[in-house]
Structure 1
Amino acid sequence: MKLKFLKTLILIMITTGLRGQNVIGEVEYRYKIFYDKIYSSLPYLTQQERDRILLTWGNPEGYSTRMKLQFWPEKSLYTFGEPYEVRSYSWQVEDYLIENNLKDQTYLKYMDQMGKTFIVRDSLTAPKWRVMNEIRDILGHMCMKAVSEDPVKGQKITAWFASDIPVPVGPEELFGLPGLILAYDINDGMLIVEAEKITFGEPKEPITLPKKMKGREVSGTAYLDLVKDFIKTSIESKQAWMWEIRY
């Protein structure tokens, strides 16, 4: 088994060298959330509330929308893509954009959360990843598994990155692996995000930041403190925080 994995790793490294020029492009992701799984895992909700949520939000196929990531050697931009015709998750907001500046090692997040619009700027700090001894094919790219944790939201994160696309970025707020993140899930399938299409070359319609960004400007640390307080207050009130903060 170890020999097989070593051979695969060598193949991935060779492929990385052959395809290292693929550092500009766009990825379309399917963002799929399963509210029934999320709510049934919350210990502070009553059984009556769990039953109500299961009746209202139970859907074995989850609720989907489309997101898109554009990437270059020096930066990435991430926002909503074209919506699916199927039912999307209900709390989709108007403003949600993340820019990672790899050259300056800074980020900008412009998003509606907790009933307000925030402009968050700070230095990039990658999650603490552990690369695992597993591989998976996604859209013809051999991807390696990596795991991490979000201590603020109490989430287990499993990501799959393609080392033959050597940009350390990914969807949502995930980055810092030696290759583009093409898929990830949270808490064993409560949320699943997976690439459906990759197009290399300059994007035909580049994502642009709004000319005028109106909102509360905070640092990354200050924003995380707000998220922690909001989650704590929600739990104490026996309410689910996922409606106000992106899961």
Structure 2
Amino acid sequence: MKLKYLKILFLLLVSTGLKAQNIVGEVEYRYRIFYDKIYSSLPHITQQEKDRIQLTWSNPEGYSTRMKLQFWPEKSRYTFGEPYEVRSYSWQVNDYIIENNLEDQTYLKYMDQMGKTYIVRDSLKTPKWRVMNEIRDILGHMCMKAVAEDSLKGQKITAWFASDIPVPTGPEEQFGLPGLILAYDINDGMLIVEAEKITFGEPEEIIALPKRMRGREVSGAEYQEVVKDFIQTSTESRRAWMWEIRY
């Protein structure tokens, strides 16, 4: 059964891959984070602090903002979309752009994190995805399930990609599957990112990189070390790190 499923997947990807040259568009995502679920999972946070977060930040719908991804055969760009009127980040910053160059397999991240602005440039390193035998309909696109892990942040990632949109990119830092990622979640619903709208064709307003980027320039490995040290320091100080780092 598994072999038959893989053969179907292969044939589907071959047939849709022929169309990849002409695929251009924009996806609007809803980014929802559940602070109470995250806090309750952190062993270094005191019960008193967990109870406080449960009272002040518990929300069955999560706290939402909009994000948008623009994609072409050779690249993608991702940043904030139009914010919601309610339940959006009060501390939202302007500097958060991810550009993936799919031709030369490099990326650029320009973002405010941990009290500083970082400019991160490096080669794309595809996560170790495992494609599962499950499908789900998202906005009329039949999506396949894939799972991966982020050992640095201790996260289990579940993504859903549309093989009929054969662009190997997606929201946030998720990419590398044989189809556009239309949804993913972290640790069974602590963070949920889902596509709300897909528009094919050249976007009316292209996400622009700042003409002059100012910040600390680091490689991907150097940035990972900064994040690792910050998480370790936060854990030792019994603080939650996700207020300063994109979850």
The alignment's TM-score, normalised by the length of structure 1, stands at: 0.94
1:211 paired residue number: 211
2:164 paired residue number: 164
Residues 20, 73 of structure 2: 8 Å contact kept: no
Gap change, CA 1:81 and 1:96, over 3 Å in 2: same
Letter in 2 for 1:229: D
Residues 13, 166 of structure 2: 8 Å contact kept: no
Structure 1: runs of 5+ lacking an equivalent:
none
1:201 paired residue number: 201
RMSD of aligned residue pairs (Cα, Å): 1.9
User: 1:7 and 1:121 mapped to 2: Cα distance?
Assistant: 37
Q: What is the CA-CA distance between 1:170 and the residue it aligns to?
A: 0.3
1:231 paired residue number: 231
2:142 paired residue number: 142
Residues 33, 89 of structure 1: 8 Å contact kept: no
Question: Can you list the C-alpha shifts for 1:5-52, whole angstroms capped at 9, x where unaligned?
Answer: 579748845872686565210000000000000001011111111110
Residues 110, 119 of structure 1: 8 Å contact kept: yes
Letter in 2 for 1:107: Y
Gap change, CA 1:62 and 1:200, over 3 Å in 2: same
**Matches of residues 64-83 of structure 1 in structure 2 within 5 Å?**
64-83=64-83
Residues 44, 238 of structure 1: 8 Å contact kept: yes
2:122 paired residue number: 122
SS at structure 2 position matched to 1:229:
helix
User: 1:2 and 1:173 mapped to 2: Cα distance?
Assistant: 29
Letter in 2 for 1:151: S
Letter in 2 for 1:186: I
Alignment partner of 1:85 is 2:96: no
Letter in 2 for 1:173: E
SS at structure 2 position matched to 1:221:
helix
**Matches of residues 4-43 of structure 1 in structure 2 within 5 Å?**
9=9, 12-13=12-13, 16=16, 20=20, 23-43=23-43
1:113 paired residue number: 113
SS at structure 2 position matched to 1:118:
strand
Letter in 1 for 2:216: R
Letter in 2 for 1:79: T
Q: What is the CA-CA distance between 1:152 and the residue it aligns to?
A: 0.8
2:52 paired residue number: 52
SS at structure 2 position matched to 1:85:
coil
User: 1:38 and 1:180 mapped to 2: Cα distance?
Assistant: 27
Instruction: Percent identity, please.
Output: 83
Structure 2: runs of 5+ lacking an equivalent:
none
Aligned length: 247
User: 1:181 and 1:241 mapped to 2: Cα distance?
Assistant: 26
Q: List 4+ stretches of structure 1 deviating above 3 A.
A: 1-15, 17-22
Gap change, CA 1:5 and 1:54, over 3 Å in 2: same
Gap change, CA 1:233 and 1:137, over 3 Å in 2: same
Question: Can you list the C-alpha shifts for 1:54-111, whole angstroms capped at 9, x where unaligned?
Answer: 1110111100000000000100000000001122134322210000011111110000
